[in-house]
Amino acid sequence: AALLHREVAAMNLGNFIVRPRRRSVEKYAIPESWTILTPEALSELSHEVAGLPTELDPEGEEAKRFDLLALSLQLAMLRLEPGFARLRDQVKELAGLLEEKSAIPMVRDQMALIQDVQTDAWW
């Protein structure tokens, strides 16, 4: 419910698509509206709010940068470009930073790979 609330709260009330549903959007932009969702509330969310455009960034900038780094690395490897070593070192550095975040479950689950990526043997 927290993610859905953030999506609704990030809707631009000035958007011409959102504007006709303004009352419903304003209602569900308030966190307390999500405490108890009655069947009527679920219906209203489904019919009035779901599918409206939101300005919530679907992916953080850091994730997009990593995706670009991974793509650039793959292309450099395929094209045998000299920039491959620099990109590889960036990935190794990021893996080292991730290794320090072992308290995060998603990181801990991938720890073996994170450690392997930092070795020359992996590359």
**Crossing angle, helix 84-99 and helix 61-78, to 10 degrees?**
140
Spans of the chain, pLDDT less than 50: none
Residue 115 CA to chain centroid, in angstroms? 23
Question: Which tens digit of pLDDT belongs to each residue from 60-76?
Answer: 778 888 999 999 999 99
Residue 68 confidence (pLDDT)? 93
Environment class of 88 (CB within 10 Å of its CB; exposed 0-12, middle 13-18, buried 19+): middle
- Structural domain spans, the chain: 2-49, 61-117
What pTM was estimated for this model as a whole? 0.53
Residue 59 confidence (pLDDT)? 66
Residue 61 confidence (pLDDT)? 72
